[in-house]
Structure 1
């Protein structure tokens, strides 16, 4: 049996644990795979980007108008951000990440979409805590807020994130949106009825989209969820 070959592209200690970016050859598919681990947790893989792209596509599909001001919480491998830039209505895209190492990976061009992301004049990469930004008083509102940081509303990477998924936390998110603005959230779990109930207390007509995709490693179909809620005037 062929052995996968691993190359560590970057390794850094962070307040949340050891952060590792690696590239490996997947012999069954004949492709290079980029993976990110935080401690013992796998955060993301370039093998599975369908739902990350769908986060942008579904969020922006619910938005109206032009010259949209978009913020993406969670940079990761960059697929959500690049998908947002593919929409010509996006006037500016701010991507916020709490880990400077992740921003550095893209500035150094280490990932497949890095050049496309950093080469677009609409892009700003910001080192900050997205959850703290949402707790702060709003300044200029966003038209679309895309969030892909935690595994799901129930399973956070850090306990400090939990308050965003409460009714009060979602109201703070809503306060950062323009009238008609959209909040879209990626989740690794199936649709959560309790979270949908909370979302419905804050946003109009929330939808939980099941995003199915072929899993080449298992030979089956995997599924993620994208929640979308709109702030009506």
Structure 2
């Protein structure tokens, strides 16, 4: 088996160190301690985040979509074919180096998605973009950290609190959709969504798209 080769590293907010590694045509982004955050062969659930959310937006020809977390571009890449030429997608990423890695090392993984004229990449905290918006988005797709109950950085918790969810509701247009990816179930989060004015459903999907491998959770929450 080929060994992993480190291509680059970057400091993330909160003091974490991110490492980009490659083995053949496989890429991995890991914390300095070795925990894997994402892998180029395990993006099915992130793709489903886009598909499940945007299926609820039929009839919105000029949909405005906010994606929180660039990652390896799985959600963005899956979203673009589902949107019209008049749609706009804002991708928020807090670690600038991830955007550099996308173009310098992972061109095949991103498949030109960052060059789509409908896409704007914002090097900013998605929580800040949400707080600044009011009725601006038809869909907000959050793939930040490991989800509501799997945080590696405490600062990400603000997205999933009641205050954070109410801010997301204000940022959505009437009938808009908030979609949240998680590495694990979080029953209390479902109840929290309801308290904050969302009609939510939960889906469980495989990370790899096969019948084996880790199960991830996606919440699809419509602004009531």
Contact residue 34 and residue 111 of structure 1 kept, 8 A? no
1:155 maps to 150
The answer to whether the aligner puts 1:113 opposite 2:104 as a matched pair is no
Q: Which moved more, 1:154-163 or 1:119-128?
A: 154-163
Query: Unaligned regions of 5+ residues in structure 2, if any?
Result: none
Name the CA distance, whole Å, in 1 between partners of 2:134 and 2:218.
26
Note the C-alpha offset of 1:33.
1.2
* SS at structure 1 position matched to 2:129: helix
Note the C-alpha offset of 1:112.
2.2
Identify which of 72, 87, 93 aligns with 2:89. 93
Name the CA distance, whole Å, in 2 between partners of 1:181 and 1:109.
35
* SS at structure 1 position matched to 2:57: coil
The answer to whether the aligner puts 1:143 opposite 2:138 as a matched pair is yes
Q: Which moved more, 1:60-69 or 1:97-106?
A: 60-69
Note the C-alpha offset of 1:104.
1.3
Name the CA distance, whole Å, in 2 between partners of 1:112 and 1:147.
23
1:39 maps to 32
Contact residue 187 and residue 224 of structure 1 kept, 8 A? yes
Q: Point out the structure with the larger helix share.
A: 2
Note the C-alpha offset of 1:106.
2.1
Note the C-alpha offset of 1:145.
0.3
Q: Which runs of 4+ in 1 moved over 6 A?
A: none
Note the C-alpha offset of 1:140.
6.1
1:28 maps to none
Query: Unaligned regions of 5+ residues in structure 1, if any?
Result: 26-31
Note the C-alpha offset of 1:115.
4.2
**Cα 1:202–1:14, aligned 2, differ >3 Å: closer, same or farther?**
closer
Name the CA distance, whole Å, in 2 between partners of 1:214 and 1:126.
28
- Alignment size in residue pairs: 220
Which TM-score applies when normalising by structure 1? Answer: 0.86
Which TM-score applies when normalising by structure 2? Answer: 0.90
* SS at structure 1 position matched to 2:19: strand
**Cα 1:115–1:215, aligned 2, differ >3 Å: closer, same or farther?**
closer
* SS at structure 2 position matched to 1:144: strand
Contact residue 200 and residue 220 of structure 2 kept, 8 A? yes
2:51 maps to 57
Contact residue 106 and residue 115 of structure 1 kept, 8 A? no
1:199 maps to 193
* SS at structure 2 position matched to 1:220: coil
Q: Superposition pairs for residues 128-139 of structure 1, below 5 Å?
A: 128-134=124-130, 136-139=131-134
Contact residue 12 and residue 101 of structure 1 kept, 8 A? yes
Name the CA distance, whole Å, in 1 between partners of 2:5 and 2:194.
45
Name the CA distance, whole Å, in 1 between partners of 2:158 and 2:187.
18
* SS at structure 2 position matched to 1:112: helix
**Cα 1:122–1:98, aligned 2, differ >3 Å: closer, same or farther?**
same
